Structure 1
Amino acid sequence: MENHGPETYGDLNADVYDEWHATLDPTETVRGLAELIEEGPAGPVLELAVGTGRVTIPLAAHGVDLRGIDASEAMVERMRAKPGGADIPVAIGDMADVDPGTDDQFALVFVVFSTFFFLMTQDEQVRCFANVARRLLPGGRFVLECPTPDVARYQRNQSLDVHQVALDRVRLVAVRHDPVEQRFDGHHVLITNAGIRLAPASMRYAWPSELDLMARLAGLERRHRWGGWRHEPFRGEGNYVTVYEKPATPTP
């Protein structure tokens, strides 16, 4: 998708993001992250792609010393307008750089939902892992929530799904799949009496084993892979949670 940058999705969708994701309850995500933070070394926590604060704000309410990064000023403005949102320091930038604007080392860095896949090339994803590892304290952890790629759902490398049908609107999601680049390019399509709104989104998916290799290249070790925040067994489908750890002592 031409002219698609790190900030594109957020800038174009900030005003409808919370409405379209209202059914996503962050409770289990926040609980799971809080447990991992409690287990790890003492230090601040960094979220990559904070968005409108869906997870950021309730996690900070637990007393976590939390910082954030996001490419979209429009999304961060939405977060800052919410109670507690303005108290969380957020740097505007590409999450692959892992640059919060300070020299802090972090006890935990995390990215949730499917947002890691918004890094559009393998090189960007590898760079993100390397920069996270550089920012982690010894014993610190990198936590990712990712969807298992489901390429079987695409017929002739395309799909059209109906997400909402109401008296005054229909919302569709149209996606093209590029199996060579491991890429999805799509649009949320909102049709109302006022007209049609397009909200583009592109993702470069990676397989779990590919993420493990990126971690190894960065000097991180996999500690857990669960099928959800309740530590369910991973069965190769749906969203899953992976915990990587920076060794307390360098590997010889």
Structure 2
Amino acid sequence: MTSSDLWTEEDARRYDENSADMFSPAVLDPTVDFLARLAGPGPALEFAIGTGRVGIPLAARGVPVTGIELSQPMADELRRKASAADLPVVVGDMATTTVPGMPGRFSLVYLVFNSIGNLRTQDEQVECFRNAARHLAPGGRFVIELWVPGIRRFPPGQVAVPFDVTDRHVGFDTYDMVTQQGTSHHYRRYPDGSTSYGYSNFRYIWPAECDLMARLAGLALEQRVAGWDGAPFTSDSGSHVSVWRKPLDAAD
């Protein structure tokens, strides 16, 4: 049993619309470029592949992509855009699910858009790193995209941090700094005038904690940058893209 929230049919149906900014070439092209360079000829495995925002264009670059996705409705939305032959998907959680016949075969495993936080316990997050390591071939890489927790912006007494305020979306995060649990709240207004409220729960992780999880999985930090464009990661960075590598002499 996973601690992750489970995306419903309604969540899946609206996902691409609600995440339209993440599909823009300005966001997506650098992401796919970065991953394609690391994958080489592949194959690559995406944890929490969702509706295929990244996996489909990466496969279009000639990288064989497989996905693991917890939500069947999200996988169904992906299947409307790509066939099982072009992009196979295994339904299951990213901490324990394995791709049949493929452990130890992938040149790249990746996890984007803060999705490791969907695993809401430290134990599950550690197992996610271990699951990535199990799937990687020696010399293969595990990549995550993750925000730096916004609690750095808390003045005394504040309990929430806004991350998006527009005329069609207001989003803010609330945090429990004892348990490292958080909730993202989303208020949306649609072109037809209707509105909605949705939320998702997460466990936040600092970069140093990610590095320790990687070490427990037998992976070594190779690179950390502020984003997919390769900008340097600094103390002021609000996010990071981190790359860990499985040693070339690692056992299968």
TM-score per shorter chain, which class? 0.7 to 0.9
Deviation at 1:6, TM superposition (A): 2.7
Give 3-state SS (helix, strand or coil) of 1:8's partner: coil
Equivalents in 2 of 1:162, 1:146: separation in Å?
16
Q: Which residue of 2 aligns with 1:34?
A: 36
Deviation at 1:156, TM superposition (A): 2.5
Deviation at 1:19, TM superposition (A): 1.2
Give the length in aligned residue pairs.
240
Equivalents in 1 of 2:218, 2:163: separation in Å?
40
Cα shift readout 1:61-101 (whole Å, capped 9, x = no counterpart) = 0111110001011111111112x354210011001114223
Between the two proteins, what is the percent identity of the paired residues? 40
TM-score by length of 1: 0.86
Q: Which residue of 1 aligns with 2:171?
A: 173
Deviation at 1:250, TM superposition (A): 3.9
Residue type of the alignment partner of 1:95: M
Q: Which residue of 2 aligns with 1:231?
A: 230
Residue type of the alignment partner of 2:210: L
Equivalents in 1 of 2:132, 2:172: separation in Å?
33
Do the aligned residues in 2 keep the contact of 1:45 with 1:106 (CA within 8 Å)? yes
Matches of residues 212-231 of structure 1 in structure 2 within 5 Å?
212-231=211-230
Do the aligned residues in 1 keep the contact of 2:150 with 2:161 (CA within 8 Å)? no
Residue type of the alignment partner of 1:187: H
Q: Which residue of 2 aligns with 1:244?
A: 244
Q: Which residue of 2 aligns with 1:145?
A: 145
Equivalents in 1 of 2:227, 2:78: separation in Å?
25
Unpaired runs of at least 5, structure 1: none
Deviation at 1:238, TM superposition (A): 2.1
Question: Which deviates further from its counterpart, 11-20 or 151-160?
Answer: 151-160
Equivalents in 1 of 2:5, 2:88: separation in Å?
18
Equivalents in 2 of 1:55, 1:151: separation in Å?
28
Residue type of the alignment partner of 2:159: N
Give 3-state SS (helix, strand or coil) of 2:171's partner: strand
Q: Which residue of 2 aligns with 1:54?
A: 53
Superposition RMSD on alpha carbons, in Å? 2.3
Q: Which residue of 2 aligns with 1:118?
A: 118
Residue type of the alignment partner of 1:69: I
Q: Which residue of 2 aligns with 1:14?
A: 12
Residue type of the alignment partner of 1:150: G
Do the aligned residues in 2 keep the contact of 1:163 with 1:171 (CA within 8 Å)? yes
Question: Which deviates further from its counterpart, 104-113 or 45-54?
Answer: 104-113
Do the aligned residues in 2 keep the contact of 1:10 with 1:51 (CA within 8 Å)? no
Matches of residues 90-169 of structure 1 in structure 2 within 5 Å?
90-104=89-103, 105-154=105-154, 156-159=158-161, 163-165=165-167
TM-score by length of 2: 0.86
Cα shift readout 1:20-50 (whole Å, capped 9, x = no counterpart) = 2111231110000011112xxx652100011
Deviation at 1:201, TM superposition (A): 0.4
Deviation at 1:244, TM superposition (A): 0.4
Residues 186 and 227 (structure 1 numbering): CA distance in 2 closer, same or farther, change over 3 Å?
closer
Residues 106 and 132 (structure 1 numbering): CA distance in 2 closer, same or farther, change over 3 Å?
same
Equivalents in 2 of 1:164, 1:121: separation in Å?
32
Residue type of the alignment partner of 2:177: P
Q: Which residue of 1 aligns with 2:75?
A: 76
Equivalents in 1 of 2:146, 2:8: separation in Å?
18
Deviation at 1:241, TM superposition (A): 0.9
Residues 227 and 191 (structure 1 numbering): CA distance in 2 closer, same or farther, change over 3 Å?
closer
Give 3-state SS (helix, strand or coil) of 1:109's partner: strand
Equivalents in 1 of 2:87, 2:129: separation in Å?
23
Residues 31 and 160 (structure 1 numbering): CA distance in 2 closer, same or farther, change over 3 Å?
closer
Residue type of the alignment partner of 2:32: V
Residue type of the alignment partner of 2:143: V
Deviation at 1:138, TM superposition (A): 0.6
Deviation at 1:161, TM superposition (A): 6.1
Unpaired runs of at least 5, structure 2: none
